[in-house]
Amino acid sequence: MARDSRCDSTRRRLLRTGAAVGLGGLLAGCAGRSETGSSTGSTTDAATTTEASTGGNDATTESSGSYSVRMEPVGAVEFDEPPETWFPYTADYADMGVALGRADGLSAIGVKARFGSHLYEQLPGVSVDKGALTQLWQEGTDKEVFYELDADLHVIDPNFMRNRLQWKRADVDEIRENVAPFLGNTVFTRAYEWHDYPYYSMYEAFEKLAEVFQRRARYEAFKQYHDEVLADVRSRLPDETPDVAVLYPADVPPEAFYPYLIGGGTQSKHWNDLRVGDALAKHGVTDAQAGGGTVDFETLLEIDPDALAVRLQGEVTQGYFEREIDSHLEDHPIAGELTAVRNDRVVYGGLTYQGPIVHLFQLERAARGLYPDEFGGEQLFDRQRVADIVTGDV
C-alpha cells in the first residue's frame, strides 16, 4: 500500500493538532525543567467520561465529541473517539491496555519475550495471542514497520525512540504526521539522564491510558482492588524487612549480574510495595540502566544482601529457576557463601515491564518467595475478580 493512501486512511480518527503542539519543544530536551524523580498526575485535561448505566460497564462508553488527553512529554493529544488499533514499545503499557479490555486492538510490542502475556492464562476469558503480534525490535526498529502497522496510536514516549533506539527527531515527526501520534512516558525506570520531565507512577500512567480508551470504570475497579490487595499484603509484613539485591544474569547459569536498583520506576513497584531495602544502593552500586557494569560474586559477597532477587524475562517456571539459578548458586564456591543463598532467600525477581495485571502476579510471587512462612502457596488476589474487570463486569 502506498504511503499516501496510508496517510489518508478513512479509519484514522485522531486529531493531530494537539500532538503537534505538544511535540514541538519536548524533543529539544525540555530545557529549563528539573523535575526528575517527581511523580505527577496533575496534567490531565481529558473530558470526563459518563459511565454506562449497566453496572458501571464502560465497554461502549465514549465522550460526546472530541476529547483530549495530556501526558508528558508530548502534551495534549486530541481524539475524535477512542483508537481502535494501537501498540506500545514496552510491555508495561501493553499490560495496561489489556487490563482495560483493549487487547483486541494491540498489534505489536517491542520485544515479545518481555511481555508477560503467559500470566493471562490464569485469568478466565483473558488472553493475548503473542504470536500474532509484530515484534518491533529486529536488530533495531525501522520506521517502515510503523507504516506497515498503520496504527491509530503509538503508546510510546518519543524520547525513548530517540535516546534508546537512536531515532532522529525528524523520524519521530514523520511518523507522527504521516501515521499517528505518540503518547507515552518512560515509566519503568528513573535511571535515564535524558528523562528530565515529570514521571508517572504505574496507576497514574494507567489512568492516562484509561482516558485515551474511555475505560474509566475499569481503571477505577483496578485501582480499588489493587489498594485492597496491597493493604492486605502490607498488614502481614514483618516489622523488619530484608535488604534485597535485584540482579539480571549476564549469562545463565550466572557468573556475573547486571545490577538494578529499587527506584521509583514501575519495574520496582512490587519491591517498594513489600517495603524492602535496596542492598545495592546502600553500597553505592550504579544501576545498569544508568551505565553501571556487572557485579560478580566477589562483589556480592562484600555486600552480602539478605536476599537476592534474580530477574529473568519470559515465562519462568519454578523448576527452571531452581535448576538454572538456585542449584548453580548453592554449588558455587563463592556464591554458596552468600547469606541469601545459605538462608534460601534467592527469589525470582520478575519481569522488567509490569502493568496492573502483571504487577499483581509479581507482587504475589515476590511475597511468597521472601516470606514463605506467611504467604506460602497462597493466592494473594482473586483471578476471577481481575478477569471480570478486564472483560467489563465491573
166, 187, 215 - which closes a domain? 215
Statement: residue 33 has pLDDT above 80: no
Q: Give me the CATH number covering residue 191.
A: 3.40.50.1980
Domain contains 60: yes
At residue 394, the pLDDT reads 85
pLDDT at 189: 97
pLDDT grade, residue 334 (50/70/90)? Answer: very high
Does position 186 have pLDDT exceeding 80, yes or no?
Answer: yes
| Rounded distance between C-alpha atoms, residue 233 and residue 359, angstroms | 13
Question: How, if at all, do strands 134-135 and 108-109 pair?
Answer: parallel
Residue 127 sits in the same domain as residue 260: no
How far lies 155's CA from each of 99, 160, 190, in Å? 15, 11, 18
Q: Are residues 187 and 325 in the same domain?
A: no
Q: Percentage of the chain with pLDDT > 70? A: 84
Is residue 221 in a domain? no
Q: Is residue 220 part of a domain?
A: no
Q: What is the model's pLDDT at position 56?
A: 40
Residue 70 lies in a domain: yes
Residues whose CB is less than 8 angstroms from the CB of residue 133 and which lie 6 or more positions away in sequence, other chains included: 87, 106, 107, 108, 109, 112, 115
Instruction: For residues 288 and 380, state if they share a domain.
Output: yes
Is residue 316 within 8 Å of residue 365, measured between CB atoms?
Answer: no
Give pLDDT tens digits for 337-355.
Answer: 999 999 999 999 999 999 9
Whether residue 246 sits in one domain with residue 311: yes
The pLDDT of residue 7 = 39
- Render pLDDT for 202-231 as a digit per residue (tens, 0 to 9): 999 999 999 999 999 999 999 999 999 999
**Residue 222 included in any domain:** no
Mean pLDDT, range 261-289, rounded to an integer? 97
Kindly report, residue by residue over 59-111, the tens digit of the pLDDT: 434 455 899 999 999 999 999 999 999 999 999 999 999 999 999 999 999 99
Do 208 and 244 belong together in one domain?
A: no
**How many angstroms separate the CA atoms of 131 and 212, rounded?**
26
For residue 259, the model assigns a pLDDT of 97
Residue 210 and residue 235 in one domain: no
- Are 365 and 298 in a shared domain? yes
Q: Which of 260, 323, 334 is nearest to 299 (CA)?
A: 334
Q: Among 33-37, 113-117, 267-271, 306-310, where is mean pLDDT lowest?
A: 33-37
Domain assignment of residue 297, yes or no: yes
Are 183 and 241 members of one domain? no
Helix (H/G/I), strand (E/B), else coil: 309: strand
225 phi/psi in degrees, rounded to 5: -70, -40
Q: Does 264 lie in the same domain as 173?
A: no
pLDDT, one tens digit per residue, over 123-165 is: 999 999 999 999 999 999 999 999 999 999 999 999 999 999 9
pLDDT for res 54: 29
- Report the share of the chain in percent with pLDDT over 90: 82
Mean pLDDT of the region 263-285: 97
Domain edge (last residue) among 192, 215, 238: 215
Q: How far is the C-alpha of 323 from the C-alpha of 304, rounded, in Å?
A: 22
Same domain, 57 and 117: yes
Query: What burial letters (b/e) apply to 28-58, b meaning 16+ CB within 10 Å?
Result: eebeeeeeeeeeeeebbebbebebeeeebbb
Q: What is the pLDDT of residue 229?
A: 98
Domain count, the chain: 2
Q: What are phi and psi of 69, to 5 degrees?
A: -125, 130
Q: Show which of 168, 183, 215 is a domain's final residue.
A: 215
pLDDT at position 5, please? 35
Residue 49 has pLDDT above 70, yes or no: no
- Contacts with 108 (C-beta within 8 Å, 6 or more apart), sequence order: 87, 133, 134, 135, 136, 145, 149, 151
Average model confidence (pLDDT) across the chain:
87
Same domain, 129 and 165: yes
- Based on the domain organization, do 159 and 237 belong to the same domain? no
pTM: 0.85
Q: What pLDDT shows up at residue 65?
A: 84
Burial class (CB in 10 A: 0-12, 13-18, 19+), 80: middle
pLDDT tens for each residue of 358-389: 999 999 999 999 999 999 989 999 999 999 99
Whether 244 has a pLDDT exceeding 60, the answer reads yes
C-beta separation of 258 from 294 below 8 A: yes
Domain of 250 in residue numbering reads as 228-390
| Residue at 55 is within a domain | yes
pLDDT at 176 over 70: yes
pLDDT > 80? residue 30: no
